[in-house]
Structure 1
Amino acid sequence: MVLRESPFPNRLLSGLYSLGQYLLFPSYWAADCLLDLRETTAEQQQRRCCRCCPLRALVTGPLLLLLLILSMPSALLGLLVWLPMQAARRPFAYKHNMLSRHPEVWELPGTGKVFSFVSANVCLLPNGLAKFSNLGHMKQRAARIGQCLTQGEASASFASPRSSQFLLPTKYGATMASPPRPESHTHRPGASMVIELPDREGEAGPGEISVPFPPDVDFVCLQEVFDQRAGAHLCQLLSPFYEHIVYDVGAYGLQGCSLKVQLGAAHGQRIVGYLNCTHLHAPAADAQIRCDQLTQGLFWAQLFQDTHTQRGDVIAFDVFCGDFNFDNCSSGDELEQTHEIFRQYQDPCRVGPRQDRPWAIGTLLNYLHIHEEAVSTPEKLKRTLEQEEGRRTYLAGPILQDGRPDPSAAGSPWEGRRIDYILYREHPTTISLTTEVEKFSFITQLAGCSDHVAVGLRLLLNAAPQWQQQV
């Protein structure tokens, strides 16, 4: 697939698209500001401390409503210009940054390789919509999220130059990719806390609660980069660290989007990896819609692989991740818990329907409490989630089919709603590699920036014994 910087084939279509956006902006801005009058719990607390009267809504509300009404004719014209452009728009935009680092070549057979994946719902919606998740200040949160994502990369680049990477922030999902480098398996003291609870086999599991993002991450998938300004700001912040940035993936275009990452070679055969990122329907009562979306996602993923896989390809990994908007502990999510995806892909945190590993915790925060002192920083959120009482208070709990809290879960061990997933599968036709889960992380770095806990997965790939014997 050829990567082009503009999502449009020529400047005329790009200009018409921009014109439509300019005509739509006044109505968009007025509607966003009207919704932004809703206060978060942090703003309510600040107003009480300052003993201010809530006059903002009374003064600015009518003016914003008048502006919204007056701007509707131009918005209608802008919509008539903007909509047809979606048929001509490519499924993503692309930014290329020249870096001094060069990609490393992975040859098989050889030493094992570790691939690190991160998935995070960053809730970068316009301010007015973000308020429904008790979040606001989109620009400030985008800047902080960019800083969080680059802190680990900056330290890794200083210690050992990284190869070229991809970052794909988008409305529904994003991906960052880089060919791997040899692992030293170094450990930074105090970086994470491994939950040493035995699993069903009586051994400690690979789960951990970690504050920082991994310093050697290969793929980052971001959901809910809904605001174009936030996506552009992230691109600006991440450009010094990532050579290839693909953004606005599937944001507006009517076409589907798929990439395949080539990782290296093995006796003239390609080593490839497949990565699928999605964000499913949210309302609790619409379980069948989520199941249909997963079914379509599996179909599209398989169709892409069948279309682009070449004979002799060595498939290093096949990962399916994102915000699925259902969990494995709620009785109301029973339909999704038995979906076909869990027979095709493996969930490292799951034993079976309604049963997770003892070290697994929820990833959806109770949005009403995300600004409280106990979870106000990444370090405090980590310490809070290490305790069951903290999880009961600050993680969203199991729900019934209509979305109400499940009263039967009150006395059981509390894990919270784990709705962010990183699944993987091994291909039976690929006998050259073995896959081992080295670590699964629950990352608290985005405390105060999102109502989700990010998740990370490290997969260790080695040449299979029969491959080594043949060589």
Structure 2
Amino acid sequence: MAHPSWMKGSSAFPSPVLQIFFDTIEFFIRPFMWCLTGTFGPFLPTTKELKHPKYLILQKLFFVPIYAAGALLLLLPVIVAFLFRNILHQFRRPFCLSVQKDKAVASPKSTYSVATSNLCLMPEIFSKFNNLDKTAERAVKVGERIVIDQLHYTDMMEKFLKKSDHTIRNGAIYSHEHSGVQTRSMDKSKNLNSSQNRDSDVKVDVVAHFPQLDFLCLQETFDRDFTKLLVSELHKVYPWIVYDVGYNSPRLNYCGLNSGLMFASRYEILEIKFKPFTSRCGFCTIVGKGLLMVKVCVQKRTNGGNDVGFIFDTHLQAFQGDNPVVYHQLTEILDWSSEFREETIESGDNVLFDMLCGDFNIDNMSPGDVHISDHKLFETYVDICREKPGKDYDWTVGTELRTPLLHEEAVSTPEGLKTVLEDPYLRQYYLIDADIESATMDAIYNAPLKKDAHGNLILSPVGGRRRIDVVLYRKESPVKIQNYNIITRLAPLTDHIPVSVTFSCDN
């Protein structure tokens, strides 16, 4: 199949001149953002920075005035640059595609894996609201950890297992002699009901390393400079990467942040489309969130036609409160994903899988989200963690950490966070509970711990189980889930916990 013109280069502009002009404007905006961060950053300290109060005082007394003066001097040229940048955005495609042609496309196989993760790679001043800083450094570290696991970890484990009495399952080590010493399996397949008996042998694990991943769906890669650092790292493994996704306009996002969505693939990308949500509220009015739709080719058959898959990446409204925004966005996802399939399926295509991934910003059990749990999307796409609307299986764990506790020693390493997730008391202490009455910023960021009169933690059946990061599969697709992994590898680089599924395709 001949690729459309947008597949021929990584630029989002039809003309290289426009791309050069855009990059020049970005160059002038960048120093202003540095000054803005330096001006307000010390007044939004992370818990790590609070441990050095003298340095904070020094920043406020000496560096803040310098940065503030720089911001004022740059304000007028930045306003002009900002106007020109947003004029250029009207000529821009809603994504960049970067292809490393020297990287070999992966060979077809019987199983595939996809992961989703919210990385909180926002402009530095916004990251601080999530108790995170040093975003450029975090972007590089995230990429390095993913790449190291893809290139080295599994090979290392396989060599280790040949010399010992262990088995390996999707990147997790199991000892036959001392089960649970190196990693504790959360295989609770007996809890899966008969309506999902195709997945009755699903293995559920908390793992400190990423398994081998064919596809990677990411959210909150908002900042263009930080995203490029991540792209550079991920290209060591993934030949095809879609990034800088979204539109900028006064109507859609007040010319603010893009969608933050990003997709990396070992397999060739055939089609890409992005559609912004039509409903939004609060902070998300300045964010161009929507649905990133991708069609990939996993095999070109010798007798004609392709074995293909569809992957959809999204990030839904945050802190909607009493507004029905998420419900409306789910409806759009269901409509758009079906339309994309119809528009892009060609004669001879054999659809192997259809996966929907992302940060939904709702969970299946909180009272404030219960009205969404029976949305018709969940009849079309299967969430193996759901026992029924309003109730997850007992083995599920949350994916949203309590931001004030992000930098405590217990969750500061992948191994430490893994231990926390495997202990119901620790999990409830460090993760947000699935009992949110109204999804507001205050209710989530300052979610209280349940304690008795003596200050002891009261264990709750929904404690630490607010699960908002999901991987779903379309019910009609020939997919059988083999592994569901909760991955702690990115501690403490983000306030979310990545999840992945490994699946086979019946045909």
Q: In the alignment, which residue of structure 2 is the partner of 1:151?
A: 148
**TM-score normalized by the length of structure 2:** 0.77
- Give the counterpart of 1:221 among 217, 220, 228: 217
Amino acid at match of 1:234: L
Q: In the alignment, which residue of structure 2 is the partner of 1:416?
A: 465
Structure 2 residue 184 is the aligned partner of structure 1 residue 193: yes
CA positional deviation for 1:263: 1.8
Distance in 2 separating the partners of 1:52 and 1:72: 27
- Give the counterpart of 1:66 among 52, 55, 69: 69
Identity of aligned residues (%): 29
Structure 2 residue 41 is the aligned partner of structure 1 residue 36: yes
Report the CA distance shift for 1:435/1:205 in structure 2 as closer, same or farther (over 3 A). Answer: closer
Structure 2 residue 25 is the aligned partner of structure 1 residue 20: yes
Structure 2 residue 299 is the aligned partner of structure 1 residue 264: yes
Structure 2 residue 213 is the aligned partner of structure 1 residue 233: no
Q: In the alignment, which residue of structure 2 is the partner of 1:319?
A: 355
Distance in 2 separating the partners of 1:44 and 1:193: 35
Distance in 1 separating the partners of 2:79 and 2:339: 38
Report the CA distance shift for 1:446/1:185 in structure 2 as closer, same or farther (over 3 A). Answer: closer
3-state secondary structure, aligned to 1:54: helix
| CA shift digits 1:398-417 (9 cap, x unpaired) | 21125335899966312421
Q: In the alignment, which residue of structure 2 is the partner of 1:467?
A: none
Report the CA distance shift for 1:268/1:340 in structure 2 as closer, same or farther (over 3 A). Answer: same
Structure 2 residue 88 is the aligned partner of structure 1 residue 91: no
Contact conserved, 1:317 with 1:426, CA < 8 A, in 2?
no
Contact conserved, 1:23 with 1:78, CA < 8 A, in 2?
yes
Report the CA distance shift for 1:154/1:66 in structure 2 as closer, same or farther (over 3 A). Answer: same
Distance in 2 separating the partners of 1:246 and 1:61: 37
Report the CA distance shift for 1:30/1:186 in structure 2 as closer, same or farther (over 3 A). Answer: closer
Report the CA distance shift for 1:25/1:310 in structure 2 as closer, same or farther (over 3 A). Answer: same
Q: In the alignment, which residue of structure 1 is the partner of 2:284?
A: none
CA positional deviation for 1:318: 0.7
Report the CA distance shift for 1:25/1:103 in structure 2 as closer, same or farther (over 3 A). Answer: closer
Report the CA distance shift for 1:60/1:391 in structure 2 as closer, same or farther (over 3 A). Answer: same
Distance in 1 separating the partners of 2:333 and 2:358: 12
3-state secondary structure, aligned to 2:370: helix
Comparing 29-38 with 302-311, greater Cα deviation is found at 29-38
CA positional deviation for 1:201: 4.8
Structure 2 residue 486 is the aligned partner of structure 1 residue 442: yes
| CA shift digits 1:59-84 (9 cap, x unpaired) | 22233333323322112211221111
CA positional deviation for 1:204: 7.5
Matches within 5 A, 1:225-374: 225-250=221-246, 252=248, 256=275, 258-265=293-300, 268-285=304-321, 287-374=323-410
Structure 2 residue 421 is the aligned partner of structure 1 residue 425: no
Distance in 2 separating the partners of 1:441 and 1:249: 27
Amino acid at match of 1:143: V
Contact conserved, 1:8 with 1:88, CA < 8 A, in 2?
yes
Distance in 1 separating the partners of 2:491 and 2:215: 21
Report the CA distance shift for 1:336/1:408 in structure 2 as closer, same or farther (over 3 A). Answer: farther
Structure 2 residue 145 is the aligned partner of structure 1 residue 104: no
Comparing 254-263 with 309-318, greater Cα deviation is found at 254-263
Distance in 2 separating the partners of 1:82 and 1:383: 47
3-state secondary structure, aligned to 2:471: strand
**TM-score normalized by the length of structure 1:** 0.82
CA positional deviation for 1:274: 0.5
Which ranges in structure 2 are unaligned for 5 or more consecutive residues?
Answer: 157-167, 175-181, 195-199, 253-273, 276-291, 452-457
Report the CA distance shift for 1:157/1:192 in structure 2 as closer, same or farther (over 3 A). Answer: closer
Contact conserved, 2:105 with 2:239, CA < 8 A, in 1?
no
Task: Point out which structure has higher relative CO (alpha carbons under 8 A, 6+ apart).
Answer: 1
CA positional deviation for 1:385: 1.1
Q: In the alignment, which residue of structure 2 is the partner of 1:385?
A: 421
Contact conserved, 2:123 with 2:223, CA < 8 A, in 1?
yes
| CA shift digits 1:404-431 (9 cap, x unpaired) | 358999663124210101111133xx7x
Which ranges in structure 1 are unaligned for 5 or more consecutive residues?
Answer: 107-112, 160-183, 464-471
Distance in 2 separating the partners of 1:286 and 1:261: 38
Between the two proteins, the alignment pairs up a number of residues equal to 425
Report the CA distance shift for 1:333/1:35 in structure 2 as closer, same or farther (over 3 A). Answer: farther
Comparing 299-308 with 376-385, greater Cα deviation is found at 299-308
Comparing 377-386 with 96-105, greater Cα deviation is found at 96-105
CA positional deviation for 1:454: 0.4
Structure 2 residue 462 is the aligned partner of structure 1 residue 462: no
Amino acid at match of 2:222: F
Amino acid at match of 1:270: N
CA positional deviation for 1:313: 2.6
3-state secondary structure, aligned to 1:332: helix
CA positional deviation for 1:205: 5.3
Structure 2 residue 490 is the aligned partner of structure 1 residue 453: no
CA positional deviation for 1:54: 1.9
Amino acid at match of 1:436: K
Amino acid at match of 1:89: R
Report the CA distance shift for 1:408/1:306 in structure 2 as closer, same or farther (over 3 A). Answer: farther
Amino acid at match of 2:471: I
Matches within 5 A, 1:128-143: 128-143=125-140
3-state secondary structure, aligned to 1:439: strand
Distance in 2 separating the partners of 1:5 and 1:121: 24
3-state secondary structure, aligned to 1:321: strand
Distance in 1 separating the partners of 2:47 and 2:367: 30
Report the CA distance shift for 1:196/1:15 in structure 2 as closer, same or farther (over 3 A). Answer: closer
